[in-house]
Chain A
Amino acid sequence: MLRKFSGLPWTAIAPVLIFIFLAVFGSWIVPYDPGAQDYSALLQGPSSVHWLGTDYLGRDLFSRLVTGARVSLVAMAIVLSTALLIGVVIGSFAGYVGGVVEQVMISIIDIILALPSLVIALALIGIMGTGYWSMIAALTFAWWANYARMSRAVVATELQQPYIEAARVMGASHLWIYVRHILPHVLSLVVVYASADAGALVLSIATLSFLGLGVQPPMPEWGQMLVDGMSYIEEYPLLVILPGLALTLVVVSFNLLGEAFALNKVPRPIARRLWRRRRAERAAEEVARDKSEGRA
């Protein structure tokens, strides 16, 4: 799986690595506690004491921005890994079992995918109430279907391979065939797609927090910092611009990574197999046509 990342240009990987570095080590770098209020230094501009100034409660903006990276990354990582797990399990099950079960699951997945994921997440938050974990749960539910569809397609393709039949003849169990032979193919495709999805997820988390339906106030989150700053947009536009800029930079870097993946034409082995299968089908069709026309 790591091989997929090694072929990419460093310009696509470096920005994401910087973001992850800040998210992990940021709390040791920042000069102030992101929640510490200082009423003697409200709404100050950038200075040597507060590098990027302070907000309306005298909290250090630089410290809050850097700590915000962790909040976004942690929320995104939880949602992405849970959605991935659920999607791969359900999608693989549907693809492996086949038949009516598969058809029913595909229809459910297609219905979910017919709605924009953020609309689904909003509806679920409306039912569960607002809060950090309800946002995580809502986004996970809105996100898994995509990976389920992808996993199902890979499993269905792999099952047609002769080596699966060979394994079965040799007496391998279903679990062994799935874990040993099919799962690596599923993961190598789905994980790559998921890492390109990370930017969209960071954006969704920020949007929910901006609307007051995601990460709640004491926690420094960029979308929520931005909406807080909106009341001061005329006098102190920095309170709005800085969190927005941080958010945009992170999403740009994830999208750069996604674009690099797309250019690399990542899932090569699977594409090749699909192509081979299509060629085989076409050959079979030709034979059938020849037969029906009485030429064979």
Chain B
Amino acid sequence: MQRLLLRRLGLALLLIVAASALIFAIIAAAPGNVAALIAERAAGAGADGAMIARIEQELGLNDPLPIRYLTWLSHAAVGDYGVSLRTGKPIAEEFAARIPVTATLLGFGGVIAFLLSLAMGLAGAASNGGVVDRVLHAVALIGASTPNFFVAALLVIAFAVTLGWLPSFGASGPASWILPAVTIALFPASVLSRVVRVNLQEAMARPFATTGFAKGLTRGSVLLREALPNIAVPFLTTFGAQFTLMTIGAIVVETVFALRGVGSFFIDAIRFRDFIGMQATLLLFVVFFVTANFLVDLICLLVDPRLRRGRN
């Protein structure tokens, strides 16, 4: 068990190093000179060769690529991500202000997706081919096909413009989180509800379910007590994948609802060609993806003893 955990942890760290190297290589290959960009932003058209050379020297841009990568990574590891080309402020400051916003959004959205998908999947399995099952299947198909910016627009039209119940932008009080969180939760909830539904159906055909019926349990209690614990691993694995995919939802939703989170920082960095800001945000994303997947693996190992035995 311990050896397995160490191995997983090692793989996760290796993936972070490898993916960050890929990001660094892509950004380093960018056309255009970062030093020239900085000089241009600082001095306008008056930027001359000497100034560019000085900035290159300061940022260590003349060092060989592997050295630059290691310098960047070791600085990032202690929380120094450099200075944003767009705002001129340290990126660490931006992150400190913005990570709570995105974390709230993802946390809130994750809880909604988790509960909604379980409810939809269970209701579908309980109905088992009936009207409810078929309607929920259609809802899940549409939910997994609707672009999240359209979901956001529809929610704004319904709840902000027509009914006037909820604010359509900004982060002012708990009510302003409802529309953004529901928006990013709809897609993962739809995908996950199908995973729950399909896996429940398979579990209900297994011998332990038959035993449950033979003991005189109702369909509902067989579903909840026998089948549901058995789908934990596929559900949690897909939930982890969908949860990380919610960052894309967050990028879009933060733009639509004018939330100042990491996603909107990333989009601003792309629009402004702020390479240093992009690099830092991508590293943050990679760490988040790898950590989330590692945690899901860990939870699966804790939940399902068969996995622990199988791989040791």
Contacts and interface: CB of A to CB of B under 8 A. Distances in A.
Interface of A: 107-108, 111-112, 114-116, 118-119, 122-130, 199, 203, 206-207, 210-213, 223, 226-227, 230, 233-234, 237, 240-241, 244, 247-248, 251-252, 255-256, 259
A207 B153 contact: no
Contacts of B153: 226, 230, 233, 240-241, 244
Given A124-B26, A240-B153, 5 more contacts: A116-B247, A127-B273, A128-B30, A237-B157, A248-B142
A202 to B, nearest CB: 9
Interface in B225-276: 244-245, 247-248, 251-252, 255-256, 266-267, 269-271, 273, 275
A213 B270 contact: yes
Interface string B13-29: 00100110011001101
A58 B173 CA distance: 39
Contact of B157 (A122, A130, A211, A240): A240
Contact of A122 (B22, B31, B156, B266): B266
Nearest to A255: B145
A119 B161 CA distance: 31
A244 B248 contact: no
A119 B282 contact: yes
Nearest to A254: B145
A119 B18 contact: no
Nearest to B162: A237
Interface stretch (B56-64, B89-97, B176-184, B285-293): B285-293
A252 B77 CA distance: 43
Interface string B27-52: 10111000000000000000000000
Contacts of B266: 122
B69 interface: no
B26 A252 contact: no
B20 to A, nearest CB: 10
Given A211-B267, A233-B161, A234-B161, A114 B290 contact: yes
A204 B31 CA distance: 25
Contacts of A114: 15, 19, 286, 289-290
Contact of A123 (B149, B154, B248, B278): B278
B210 interface: no
B100 to A, nearest CB: 21
Contact of B278 (A126, A128, A199, A223): A126
B157 A256 contact: no
B144 interface: yes
Contacts of A213: 267, 270-271
A127 B275 contact: yes
A255 B269 contact: no
Contacts of A259: 141
Given A114-B289, A118-B248, A240-B157, A203 B147 contact: yes
Given A116-B244, A207-B252, A210-B252, A248 B147 contact: yes
Nearest to B272: A126
B18 A255 contact: no
Nearest to A112: B22
Contacts of B87: none
B15 A126 contact: no
B149 A227 contact: yes
Nearest to B244: A116
A207 B247 contact: no
Contacts of B267: 122, 211, 213
Contacts of A203: 145, 147
16 contacts: A114-B286, A115-B286, A116-B247, A116-B248, A116-B289, A123-B270, A126-B270, A126-B273, A203-B147, A210-B252, A213-B271, A226-B149, A226-B153, A233-B161, A241-B153, A244-B150
Nearest to B21: A111
A112 B252 CA distance: 22
B161 A122 contact: no
A231 to B, nearest CB: 12
B211 interface: no
Contacts of B285: 115, 119
B130 to A, nearest CB: 19
Contact of B147 (A111, A123, A210, A256): A210
B146 interface: yes
Given A111-B15, A114-B290, A234-B161, A127 B26 contact: yes
A105 B29 CA distance: 20
A247 B147 contact: yes
Contact of B161 (A107, A115, A237): A237
Contacts of B157: 233, 237, 240-241
A24 to B, nearest CB: 22
A262 to B, nearest CB: 10
A267 to B, nearest CB: 19
Contacts of A223: 147, 149
A90 B15 CA distance: 22
Nearest to A126: B270
A196 B290 CA distance: 27
Given A107-B18, A244-B147, A125 B270 contact: yes
